[in-house]
Structure 1
C-alpha cells in the first residue's frame, strides 16, 4: 500500500533536485547536453547518439568502448573478448539490450565461447583501467559452464548438459546471481564458459532457475540481457554528471517498485541514495569527482533525499501511530475521569444514600429486562421485583452514550437519594459499573399523569384533580424549602409526575435537578434546562428575571392549566383559532365576566375547582419571575376557596387585549425556536 506514495515522493524530490541544480550550475552548463555529433543509424537502430559511435567518427564523438559495427540489418558491439548484437537502446533507462553473436541459437546444443572473460576483477564500474567491461554490471544472472572429470552427484545446482558430455568429460551448467568464479567449482571440475542473461532480479526468478534444466536455461540465454550506459556526459560538466546519475537512479527506482515484490520496493526506497553515489563514483570522468563543487553537490543531494526519507518514515511509522495512541489515551482518560467522578461520589453516597446494586443484580431483578414499561430521553424503564419480599420496582437504564457524561446520574442520585417525602418518588437503589448505570425507583403502578389528563374521557373528578395538584405542589415545595439545600427540578411536566396505587402524585425524574444554598435567590446556569412548553422565560432570556425556584413555579403553572383544560396548552388542531393557545383563551374567558358585567357561557359552565386551577395556573405563569408566587403561596391558594382568589395581571402574551391565536402562536413559536436551539434536554418521547 505504501509503495506508490513512496515512489511519487522520491520522484518529486529528485526532480526538484534536478531543477535546483539547473539554477545553481546554469553558468557551467553551456552545452546542449550531448557531444555535438549528429545522431546516426546503425543496422535496424535509428537515432543513435552518445555514448555510441561508429568506426570512422571523429574522436570527440561518443565513447570508444561503445563503438558499433554496423551492417545493413544489424548493429554489433565488442565487449571484452566477445561480440554481441545490439537489439535495442533505451536512453530513458540508460541501458541497451544485447545478445551474444557467437551463441548459435540454431544449434541443438549451443555453448558460449570459452575465451569470454568470466570476470574482470573490478567490483564496481563499467570499465576497468585496462578498458575491460565489468561483467558484474551486465545483468542479474549468469550461466556458468564447467567440465568435470567425473559425474557430480553432491551438488543439485549443477544441471547436466548431456549433448556435450562424454565418458570422461561431464559438462554441467549452473546459474549464478553474482559471477562465475573458480572458487565455486568442484575440485575435479574446470571453468569452461560463461554468458550473462536476464533483465531483472527477483526472488521468483531465483526459485525458478534453481529447478531449470539446460534446455530452459538455453531459452533464457537466447533472449539476451541489458547493459547499462556509462555514468558521465561527454562534456564532463558537473551538471551533466549529476543529471545522468539522477535519471539513472529514478529509472532504477521505477523498475524496482514496478513489480509486486515488497522486498524489492523497500530495498529501492532505502537504497536509492547509495545507487546514486555508486553512479557518480563509477563515472569514467573521475577527475571531476575530486572537484570541490561536485563533492558538495553530491553531498547536498544525498542529504536532501535521506532527510526527506527520514521524515517520511518518521511521520508514517512513528508520528501517525503515536497520534492515534494519544487520541485513544485521551478518550480513555476522559472516560476514566467520568467513571472516577461517579465512583468517588458513590463511595460517599453509599454511607447515607440508597443501596448500590451490581449489574448482575439489575439483570436478575428485571428478569433480563423482560418487562419494559417505557422509553425516555435518558434510557428505558423496566419493571422488576426485589427479593426477598417481592416488592415491585421500576429500573431506569441510562444510555451509555449520554452526552451528559454521568452528570444526570450524579444529579439524580444526589438529590432524590436523600429525599423522603410522600410526594417525591423514592430512590430504592442504583447501579454503576463502568459506563453501565441504572436507577431503581419504587414502582408506580398507575404510571405518569399525562396518560390521564390528556385522555378523551375524564379519569378524575375535580376534587381528585385538586388533590393531585396540591400533592404535586407539596412535593415541589419540599424540594425548595424542606431540605438543607434547595433543589430546583427544572423539568416539571405531566410526564414526570407519577401516580402510586392510590393515585398519590410523586415528583420524579431528577436528571436535570440542581442543588443550591437555600438563601440564594440567583442561580447561575450556563445553559437552558427543561422541556419546550414548560420552560420559564428567564431560562431563555435574563430580561425576564433571574433563574430561581420561581422557574419551577412557572412549569407547575403550565401543568395546572393542562390539568384544568384536559388538553395540552398549545393545540393547533383546536376547534377554533381562538382556542389554539389555552392559557390565552381561558384568561380572556375569565376576565370577560368582570369587564362586561356579564357571565361568559363558558365560565358559567366551569366547575369551581376548575376555575381555581386556572386562576392559580395563570398566577404561576406570569412572564416576570418576581410577579409569580412561591410554591408555599401556591399551596395556600390551592387549599383556599375559588371565591377568595383574585385574577392576576394580564400575562405578556395578551398585553394588547384579545390576541388572535395567530399572534399567540407567533410569540410561542419564537419562544419554541429559541428553546430548541438552546435547550440541553428536549422533551422526552411519549411512552
Structure 2
C-alpha cells in the first residue's frame, strides 16, 4: 500500500513538471516542424482542450501539414501567416475545396473574422492561352481543362488580349495580393493585440462562465527556464530524500518483523519444551498452583488444582494421595501419556516425583468433564444439543481408536467413562486419566489380568469373568458403548431412583423400545434429533454386546458414527445372555472376529 501511494505521488509530481499542467496542454505548436504559422491563443488545434482557444478559432492540420481554417459558407482556407499583434491572418483558398459556389457566396458574417479590404467586384475569365503576364491567375479545380484568371472591375481590360478568353462570372471578393489568390482577414474579439505588443501572454481565464473572458499575464523572464530547472531539481531532490526515508523505514520494519519472528520462535521453543513431560519438584508444584489456591475437583485418586506455568500456559495439576503398593497408577499415567500425541487425548506436560509426593501436570480444559453436561443432576444436559453430542461421540471414538492402533504399543485405557472425558473451549473431547491403562504388543490383542480394573457400570463382563472372553481392546469398546447410551439417556445407566422399575437399567429399556420399533422420546426438540438419538442408541447397543467377539472394533464404530442412521441394523439382544455361558446361548453373528490370544501384561 505504501509503495503504491509513493509511486502515485511521484508520478503525479512528475506529470506536473513534464507536460501534465494546463500550460503544457495549451503550449504553442505548428502543423509543420519547419514552417507554417505558430498556433497559440486565441487559436487552438482540434486535439487541444477547449480552454486553450477562443470559440470558433479552431485550426487543423491537413495531410500535407498545412494549417487549415474552416469557416461557414467558405469551407476550408489555407492559413499561411498569423499576426497576433495586428490580429490578422493571411489565407488563400485550399485548392481541393475551392468551388464556384464558395466564390459566389463569399460571406464572413457567420464567422468571427472580417476583411478590411473588400476590393469590390472581380471578373473571372476562362482562357485557353496563358495570360499570366496580363492577368492574375488563380488555382481552380472546377474547370481543370483551361486556365482561370481574375481581374478587378476597375482594371483596364482594353490593354489585354481576350481573344482566347471567356468571361465566367463576376463576384465580390476581398482584396487579393498580387500572389495567386492570397487575401487577409482580421478578428476584433478577443482583444489580445495590446497584450501581445507588450510581450505578454494572452490566455483564457480559468472560470466556468458561459461568456469566455481573457487575461493578460506576464511572460516568464529569460531566466525562467533556469528557475524551472532549479524547481525541477529541488522537487526531484525532495523525492529522492523521501524515497530514502521510505527505504530506511522499509528496512527498519523488515528488521523489526525479523526480530518479532525470532522472538516468536524462541517463545515457541520455550512453550514446546514446556509441552514435553518435564519433571518438577514439589516446590514447583506449589508455585504453579499458587499454593493450591484454585481447586477444580476431587476424587478417589486425589485432588485437581488449576495452575499456570511460567510461559502463561494454564494447566491442571492432579495431586495423587493414594500410594499403596508400588505407585503403579502413577507409573502407568506418566509412562503412557508421555507417548501419546492426539487431538482427542489429554496431553501430559509434566510430573512430580518428590519423595512421597506425586503429581501430574496436564493441559487445562476449561469446560471440565463430560458428565457435567449429560447427566440431569447437573442441569446442563440440554445445552450441548444432539449434533454436538454426535461430534463428541466421534471425537472420543477416534481417541480410543488411536490408543488401540495409532501408538507403537496398543494401549488399553480400561476406564472409559464420562468423568474421564474432558472438554476444551470448543467442546472437543479429550480422553484423560490413564491410571488403569495397560500396554500390550500390537501383534497381540488381549492381556491377562488378575484383578478387575475400571468403574462399576462401565466394566466389560470379561473383566469380571473369563467365561465371557479375554480382556482386550474390546473392553474399551464396551465402556464406550455404556458411555454412549448415557449420552443418549442423559442419566446414569443404572438408576434405582426412577419410579418405573422397568427403566432402572436404561440400556435394557432402550433396547426393548427400539426392538419393538417404539419411539424413544428423549429430550427431542427437532426432527433431526430423532435420527441422531436413534443412531447413537443402536451403536451403543452394538458396543455393549455381552461377548467381546460380537462387539465391533473402534474403527467400525467410527464408520458407523459418521455414516447414515438408515444403514444400521439392530444388534442381538445383549441382555438375553446375562448370567449364561457363551456356549448355551444362540446368537446372531454379525461381526466375525478371530479368537483372541491371551498374553501377559507389559508392566
Query: Normalization by structure 2: what TM-score?
Result: 0.48
TM-score w.r.t. the length of structure 1 is: 0.42
From the two aligned structures, give the one with the greater helix fraction. 1
